[in-house]
Structure 1
Amino acid sequence: MRSPGEVLRASFEIVGIEPMFSVEEYYDRYDEFAEQCDSMDELRAECFVALADENGYDGQLGRDVADAFSAERDQTNVELLPSVTRVLNEVSQEYRLGIVTNGAPDAQRQKINAVNLERWVETIVVAGYDVPPKPDPEPFERAMQSLDATPSTTVHVGDSLETDIAGASAAGLGSIWISDSDATEEYTPTHRIESVGGLLSLPWI
């Protein structure tokens, strides 16, 4: 319900300091710390300490901001996008569904449970821990193995060109990019739709 950027700004205010780093800097370092840490709180604390040090601040301030962020960030405060329930109800009648997501397992599990995604989904791969994060092909391959699928029978749906579309391409999958922007030459999805509801009008469904 709130973006990480909004929560980060609130966290700086709670600690009573001016922003020491941007949410973009956090995103840029996320995968690096995801490979080292076992929980979302640990990941964020280690990342914020490093960013504070690199930007000339006391590392403890970074830890204080991370603590405030954890208190503010409610991973269960999520809701499905419009039309998702209808789309998943229809698609799951014909296709086996899986999730490939980057993130800390504890945080991702809370989000998944909050909207009960497992009523539609048969397998969940949290990339960045047991397997490398997207766009590495391994998490896609892990999901296909679990679903007894092959690249020729699988399509990946996502909203990130750099992780979803690039990763699907690396694994030899078709891809559907949810965006109202044009793709770049570097990453070319098989299809582009502007909203989740567009999945129901694609040729493969």
Structure 2
Amino acid sequence: MAAYDAICFDLDSTLCEPTRDPATLLEATFERADCEPFCTPTDLRAAIPALPTAETDREFFDQLFVEVARRAGADPALAPTLADHYLDLQDPTAVRFRPGAEAALEHARDRAQVGLITNGGRPTQTKKLEALGIADAFDVRVFTDPGKGIHPKPDAAPFERALAGLEATPETAIHVGDSLHADIAGANAMGIDSAWIDTGHEGLDGVDHEPTYELASLEAFETIV
């Protein structure tokens, strides 16, 4: 168990998850677009590391559906329509805490400064935080904002912004997240300790980004901090 001056958390799939089944959401998206499904939620997650930086949620999902369509041999011209329907069907407020997340956040707040570093824009992510009742639970909140030079993790900018706001150094901080590509690789590159939450969507085999800690869920958070 280690002591830290700053503890940072990712949001999506780390602290919270949607209450609506992702497969159902995607199925409804294809139905509205009146086209045959050519991808799964797993395909969407797998394509994210290949995407360029997006300025808005709309641009992100447009790029995402273009990429998965290309990989599936489908027509990329369907992407704008799919992105529109996907966003229309999404409800940012329909979220719940992941197992152990609420207790982990309280545990962290009792021991250190706490930050949020999320690969999402302020309007959408703030709705999730408000729905969970934790909008004021962080000493620093860092959202993706390419226009201000804050590119998505694993870029260094969001980590640097969080550390500056928390008045912490990489050596005294830890970042907790579910994405090996975004959270663990980004933290490792900064020299920040990292805790990876294994949600079953990724595996460590053949991956260069080794976390400092590996947790089955945030229910085990108190064993490392």
- Which TM-score band applies after superposition, normalised by the shorter structure? 0.7 to 0.9
Please give the residue correspondences for 1:4-43 in structure 2 after superposition, counting only pairs within 5 Å. 4-23=22-41, 26-27=44-45, 28=47, 32=51, 35-38=53-56, 40-43=57-60
The Cα shift of 1:4 comes to 4.2
The Cα shift of 1:172 comes to 0.5
Q: Given residue 198 of structure 1, which amino acid in structure 2 is its aligned partner?
A: A
The Cα shift of 1:24 comes to 5.2
| TM-score using structure 2 length | 0.75
The Cα shift of 1:58 comes to 7.4
Please give the residue correspondences for 1:109-124 in structure 2 after superposition, counting only pairs within 5 Å. 109-124=126-141
The higher relative CO (CA closer than 8 Å, separation ≥ 6) is in: 2
Query: What's the CA shift string for 1:107-166, capped at 9, x where partnerless?
Result: 222212211223321111123623121112221111000100001110011111121111
Unpaired runs of 5+ in structure 1?
A: none
Contact map agreement 1:138 1:171 (CA 8 A) in 2: no
Identity %: 31
Q: 1:171 matched to which residue of 2?
A: 190
Q: List structure 1 segments (4+ residues) > 4 angstroms apart after TM superposition.
A: 20-27, 49-56
For 1:183, which of 191, 194, 204 is the aligned residue? 204
Q: Given residue 201 of structure 1, which amino acid in structure 2 is its aligned partner?
A: T
Describe the shift of the 1:3–1:160 C-alpha distance in structure 2 as closer, same or farther (beyond 3 A).
Answer: farther
Q: 2:80 matched to which residue of 1?
A: 63
Contact map agreement 1:125 1:142 (CA 8 A) in 2: yes
Larger radius of gyration between Structure 1 and Structure 2: 1
Q: How many residues align?
A: 200
Unpaired runs of 5+ in structure 2?
A: 1-18
| TM-score using structure 1 length | 0.82
1:150 aligns with 2:143: no
Contact map agreement 2:153 2:183 (CA 8 A) in 1: yes
Q: What root-mean-square deviation, in Å, do the aligned CA atoms of Structure 1 and Structure 2 show?
A: 2.8
Query: What's the CA shift string for 1:148-189, capped at 9, x where partnerless?
Result: 000111001111112111111001001111127763451211
